[in-house]
């Protein structure tokens, strides 16, 4: 029998940093690499066991995150409208139960697993389920941090109608891949520039720590590396 060993591929620093952020908004034109970055992030998280890092995957496009649905890290995979609403409400439930436990134990920060709620693509979710999901998403954005519940939202349209003010003010880590317009760039990193990035492979990354957007390479983890890790984790 062939023994399986854990893959040991290097993980991108950018991804480790994003996974440490309370919440992250990723914006960029179609084909700019939002899904590539999300795959990188999941790959990076998969180096941790499911008792440390877990996912709630919201996949309105129905194909982008499918291959991760059977992982032990995946609490919920949702691609149908009713399932997506249920998944987001479930995340609020989990958060509230964590707050109760934290109060009981006198903790300010949860010591439970980090749960990443990953939405690829957020504009698709908003155009169909805005009314049903925005209140819950606002609560998660406001209160998730202390409960180790993170939002990672990818969108091709970082406009006010898609990323509402109340969600946006609470998501202070921003990744701008190549944006269609200078205004889109301003919406995400508060300054123009992302419209001039190469078609893919680079982003501007803004966090409260850096205060200014920093240009960072976005590596693409080869699909076979990702698949090897999925097989191992399953
Ligand atoms: N960082 C990258 N390095 C190399 N190729 C990339 C990178 N990001 C994107 N690409 C190329 O662009 C294509 C579209 O990327 P994708 O992540 O699907 O874009 P989006 O989700 O923003 O529409 C990929 O299939 C790949 O060929
Ligand atoms: Mg995509």
Q: Is the CB of 218 under 6 A from ligand 1?
A: yes
pLDDT of residue 1: 47
CA atoms within 13 A on the CB side of 13: 3
**Where along the chain do its domains lie?**
13-233
Residues 68 and 71: their CA atoms lie apart, in Å, by 6
pTM: 0.95
State the ligand closest to the CA atom of 33: 1
Is the pLDDT assigned to residue 233 strictly greater than 90? no
- What percent of the chain is modeled with pLDDT above 90? 89
Are 176 and 213 contacting, i.e. CB atoms less than 8 angstroms apart? yes
Mean pLDDT of the chain: 94
15-53 b/e with 16+ CB inside 10 Å = b? Answer: bebbbebbbbbbbbbeebbbbbbbbbbbbbbbbeebeeb
- 111 C-alpha to ligand 2 centroid (Å): 32
- 180 C-alpha to ligand 2 centroid (Å): 15
Q: Which of 200, 204, 226 to mutate to test the pocket of ligand 1 (most atoms within 8 A of CB)?
A: 200
**CATH class for the region spanning 13-233:** alpha beta
Instruction: Choose between 7 and 55: higher pLDDT.
Output: 55
pLDDT tens, 127-171?
999 999 999 999 999 999 999 999 999 999 889 899 988 899 999
Is the pLDDT assigned to residue 3 strictly greater than 90? no
């Amino acid at each position: 029998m062939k023994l399986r060993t854990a893959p040991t591929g290097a993980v991108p620093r950018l991804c480790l940093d994003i996974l440490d952020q309370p919440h992250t908004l990723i914006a960029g034109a179609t084909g700019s690499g939002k899904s590539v970055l999300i795959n990188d992030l999941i790959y990076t998280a998969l180096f941790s066991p499911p008792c440390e890092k877990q996912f709630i995957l919201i996949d309105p496009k129905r194909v982008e995150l499918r291959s991760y649905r059977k992982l032990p890290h995946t609490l919920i995979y949702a691609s149908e409208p009713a399932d997506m609403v249920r998944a987001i409400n479930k995340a609020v439930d989990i958060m509230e139960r964590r707050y109760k436990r934290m109060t009981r134990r006198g903790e300010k920060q949860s010591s439970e697993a980090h749960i990443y709620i990953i939405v690829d693509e957020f504009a698709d979710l908003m155009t169909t389920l805005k009314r049903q999901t925005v209140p819950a998403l606002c609560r998660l954005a406001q209160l998730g941090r202390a409960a180790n519940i993170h939002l990672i939202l990818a969108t091709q349209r970082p406009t006010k109608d898609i990323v509402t003010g109340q969600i946006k003010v609470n998501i202070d880590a921003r990744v701008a891949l190549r944006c269609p317009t200078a205004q889109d760039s301003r919406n995400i990193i508060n300054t123009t520039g992302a419209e001039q990035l190469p078609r893919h492979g680079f982003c501007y990354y803004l966090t409260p720590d850096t205060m200014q957007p920093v240009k960072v390479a976005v590596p693409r983890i080869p699909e076979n590396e990702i698949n090897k890790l999925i097989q191992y984790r399953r």
